Amino acid sequence: MTNLPENQQRSRQSQHSKSALVLSAITVIAADGAIDEAELNDLAKIVRGDRKSIDTAMQVMKANPFPGVIDLVANVLDEKQKIATLAILCDIAMSDGVLAGEEKKILQIYMDKFGVSEAKLAPIIDAISIKNNFSIFA
């Protein structure tokens, strides 16, 4: 057990959780081998100016190549954070309106590691699909 005051322990856990979210986002963003401007904007929205969480995530990723980082992420997040992380990852992966290719494979790995079924995630994917379908306004 650590000797840090409780508020510092919560702050440290919060930083670890945020870094885990950022790390998972980077794995999805980089899934196709390239990071475009829209994906960088998605990452910026996640970190909200917290450069430390990006730096931490990058250090962890360099020391623990994919897919090993998924175990690290899974061990840091609680159940609510896992569902929120999957929703965020789906939104990133579906920014073009579809969930396919390497991004879909990586999301499936996260779902398996997090113990989240497709049935539980389906309503989230449906909502994101509607949100990102700008063709209905054309």
How many angstroms separate the CA atoms of 84 and 97, rounded? 19
What is the model's pTM?
Answer: 0.82
pLDDT of residue 97: 66
The answer to whether residues 93 and 107 touch, using CB atoms and an 8 Å cutoff, is yes
Mean pLDDT of the chain: 83
If we measure between CA atoms, which residue out of 78, 71, 86, 69 comes closest to residue 120?
A: 86
The answer to whether residues 128 and 90 touch, using CB atoms and an 8 Å cutoff, is yes
**pLDDT tens string 81-126:** 999 999 999 998 887 667 778 888 999 999 999 999 999 999 999 9
Just give the CATH number of 6-137.
Answer: 1.10.3680.10
pLDDT of residue 88: 94
Q: Which tokens is 38 given?
A: 């829209």
What residue has token string 């379908």?
A: 133
Lowest-pLDDT choice from 70-74, 81-85, 132-136: 132-136
